[in-house]
Amino acid sequence: MFKKKEPFTLSENEVIKSLDSSFKGLTSKEAKSRLNKFGLNELKRKKKISPILIFLKQFNNILIWILIGAVIISFILNEKIDGIVILVILIFNATFGFIQEYKAEKAIEALKKLTALQAKVIRNKETIIIPTYEIVPGDILILSEGDKVPADARIIECHSLETIESSLTGESLPILKSIKILKPDTSLADRINMVYSGTIITQGKAKAIVIATGMRTEIGKIASMLEKIEEPSTPLQKKLKTLGNYLVIGTGIATSFVFVLGLIQGEKAIEMLLTSVALAVAAIPESLPAVVTISLALAIQRLIKKNSLIRKLPSIETLGSTTIICTDKTGTLTMNKMTVMKIYTNRNISLLGEKNGNSNPLLFEIGALCNDSELGRKNDIGDPTEIALLLSSKKYGINKLDLEKKYPRLNEIPFSSERKYMITHHKIKGKDLIYIKGAPDIILKKCTKMYYNGRIVPLNKKERDRINEVLEDFSDSALRVLGFAYKEVKTDYKDIEDLIFVGLQGMRDPPRKEVKDAIKKCKIAGIKVVMITGDYKNTAVAIGKEIGIVGKVITGQELDQIKDLSKIIDKISIYARVNPQHKLKIIDALKKKGHIVAMTGDGVNDAPALKKADIGIAMSITGTDVSKEASDMILVDDNFATIVNSIEEGRGVFNNLRKFVGFLLSCNIGEVLIIFFASLFGWPLPLIAIQILWINLVTDGPPAIALGLDPIDSNIMQQNPRDPKENIINKPFAIRMISLSILVTVITLFLFKLFLPMGVMKAQTIAFTTLVLLEMVVVYVVRGHYTDKILSNKYLIGTVILSIILQSIIIYTPLSIYFKVVPLTLMEWMYIISATTLLAILGVIIDKIVDKMSLKHARQKFLQSR
């Protein structure tokens, strides 16, 4: 849009005029028009979702290639029926896989929009919050500490603004910005009146007008030159791949033996080749990594409905292993709706709104003017503490907008976690005054006088002691306290000593109703909850007692004195008066003790801790862009209970994946053993290639997928956290799996041998059908008797019924010719049903034994990890 002059060479007014905008921002209509013209403010993906590629990907597997080779060999040897049936099954399997994976891809793409960062802009003369991808050239951005700049923009108003532009220039030091007009030859790194997409605001605040979005930004130009990096496999996928490698070796040996033995016994080479290949496909869960990704993507969708956005797939697995949650207090454990309850001014404590003649208008004037928040017509915008101050001022008839028109802000020093105070500069009644609000202990140290009934009096020891008593009283009442002061200055106010103390405002942020039950749930689940807050010790303890967090309490000052925190870390439940930097020390100590740590945060300084934690959890409402980008998970509602619900979901996902894998392996090992021992005994093959493929891809597939949708076990949060190093198939589960495989093998071979005198085809039909029904029993045994109701998974019921119907169709329709089966009589069905019932009874016994072993195994693992 700047053909003649670059925006950094123009004044603020010239830039605004050239973009056909104004200081009051764009209208909604104009913004919509520009969005259509310039497109979404996002970096374009090089690789779009291609349905064709996803479908072809279903065949990108060495074992599938072997099977396709078997189809070709079948046609060459004139075994056309076998070849056609195998090909149809392969296409069916690929279609099913395509549908599931395509849904998952679309779900993940939708998730990226949900997790998009947000930005403050001025539209229709009002400050509103919109997704960053809706920003257009001409928008007026409102930037503050912790924001990630959403687009390239020219600064039009600036207050102590500093940015980190290392993502663009490589310079790691903060850059102080200004609105100064620059020369045309100014290099990118020296354009101090510009902010660029992807860079971070580390201090101060500003207004800036957007000059470029999306691929037109500086970072977009770089992105267009780069190829998109493929996302790495999740840890769970790697575990499954390792498991598959072991199975490949074992199956290779078994199938080679079966093939050679079959040839020795006079079987057809093509039949043995097809049987061996089908056996290999049946034994190896080659699609598991893809199905795991699908299952995790579906879990992400469920978590979205529970107000939790998972940014990284592996985080779901890690969530289930969490042993400790380190949570901020304000907004997470509490409602983040601050209300001023008590005030102290003119040497008097009073309730807000109390008509006692002791209220001091100056206290509320400072609270309104030294404030960056706004009371909106629909939604208030800004920090909850500042909003509470505006509401308290409003009760005394003081309106921020009216005051700002009368006493506009000339300059400011923004609040920072290091300073713990904020300063604004105003011209009031011909005098230059600075208004200050912040931590009362910090403010009090800088005060030498106090304002009392319109007079300035000395702040002696007696007055200080009285104020400290009030502070303690407020803290005991679980009130968050802010101190207020002022001072007359000339032009330079770097020296902020010798302030005049005005008063205190104590506010309360009540605990969320659901938090107490959520913390109780964590204790039962073996998860410790630790509160980390910048509030005073007494305030933290009061809130802790109310919600159920009790134990040793230490302050940030005490924390600094401890050399090896890990020695006492397990005894500490509350950290008060701490800085974000302390969180790293806490995480290090917890990890040293072997904990899996979930850590919440919302500020810029929280980002390192969020990255270092096993699960970094950012706040959606109060969180900065930097904290969100550093996190693994974002709380949509900033609610602690959402973390607990997510952990429960994480545990459920892993349990379902374990059931899924256990079911498939139990069935596949059983199939391998049936063919192996039949060949070893010199019997005819109980199952031919087409039948094995049918079982593996059609009758087993749908129930296996349904297991991934199993409801979470009701007692899952009554168990201790799982060791994250534990394999998917642990010792108890392996015993259940092998026991079921052996039982399935013995029962199937017994019935096959029993009916063999009636003909090979009849015996094969019996074995084939028996195996299908036995595997429908296995799916429920693997699922576990501890699930609340046997009918609770409607998807599983439907897929089991579907599998039985499909089996009946190929037995009693002309399809029987292709599968080489014959109709079964009622008496033969009775044998099969009796065998199925026997497995169900034995399965329940095995399940009870293994369930006891699992509890003992989990307890031992948990104790070892401690």
3-class DSSP state for residue 202? Answer: strand
Give the whole-angstrom CA distance, residue 364 versus residue 340: 11
DSSP codes of every residue in 15-49 = HHHHTT--TT-B-HHHHHHHHHHH--SSPPPSS--
Question: Measured between alpha carbons, how far is 110 from 310 in angstroms, rounded to an integer?
Answer: 12
pLDDT in tens, 488-498: 987 666 668 89
Beta carbons within 8 Å of 165's beta carbon, 6+ residues apart: 171, 175, 189, 196, 199
DSSP, collapsed to helix, strand or coil, labels residue 341 as strand
User: Distance between CA atoms of 708 and 783, rounded to whole angstroms?
Assistant: 10
Low-confidence spans in the chain with pLDDT less than 50: 1-3, 226-232, 786-787
- Distance from C-alpha of 541 to C-alpha of 574, rounded to nearest angstrom: 8
CATH 3.40.50.2020 fits 339-508, yes or no: no
Reduced DSSP (H G I as helix, E B as strand, rest coil) percent helix, strand, coil of the chain, to 5:
50, 15, 30
- pLDDT at residue 108, rounded to an integer: 55
For the domain 244-304+646-865, what is the CATH code?
A: 1.20.1110.10
pLDDT of residue 366: 97
Compute the distance between CA of residue 527 and CA of residue 476 in angstroms, rounded to an integer.
28
What dihedral do alpha carbons 793, 799, 800, 803 form, nearest 10°?
A: 180
CA separation for the pair 678, 226 (Å, rounded): 57
Q: What is the pLDDT of residues 20-29, one digit of tens each?
A: 999 999 999 9
Residue that has been written with the tokens 């031919």 in this structure: 688
pLDDT of residue 375: 86
pLDDT 10s digits, 525-577: 999 999 998 887 888 898 899 999 999 999 998 999 999 999 999 999 999 98
The separation between CA 630 and the C-alpha centre of its own chain, rounded to angstroms, equals: 11
Contact at 8 Å (CB) between 157 and 207?
Answer: yes
Q: What is the CATH number of domain 7-39+117-214?
A: 2.70.150.10
Match 């005029």 to its residue by tokens: 17
> Which uninterrupted H or E stretch holds 618?
strand 615-619
Catalytic residues: 328
Q: Show me where the domains of the chain are located.
A: 7-39+117-214, 244-304+646-865, 308-334+511-638, 339-508
**Dihedral, CA of residue 290, residue 296, residue 301 and residue 307, to nearest 10:** -160
How confident is the model at residue 227, as a pLDDT?
42
- Segment 579-584 long-range contacts (CB within 8 Å, at least 24 positions apart): 579/417, 579/418, 579/534, 579/605, 580/417, 580/605, 580/606, 580/609, 581/605, 582/532, 582/556, 583/326, 583/532, 583/608, 583/609, 584/608, 584/609, 584/612
Helix-helix angle 640-681:269-283, to 10 degrees = 160
Length of the chain equals 866
Instruction: Give the pLDDT of residue 229.
Output: 41
Half-sphere exposure in the Cβ direction for 443 (13 Å, CA): 28
| 711 C-beta neighbours (distance < 10 Å), count | 13
Q: Identify residue 173 by its one-letter amino acid code.
A: L
Compute, in degrees rounded to 10, the torsion defined by CA atoms 20, 25, 28, 34.
Answer: 40
Secondary structure class of 814 (helix, strand, coil): coil
Q: CA-to-CA distance for 388 and 401, rounded, in angstroms?
A: 16
**Domain 308-334+511-638, what fold?**
Rossmann fold (3.40.50)
Residue 638 to residue 602: CA distance in whole angstroms: 10
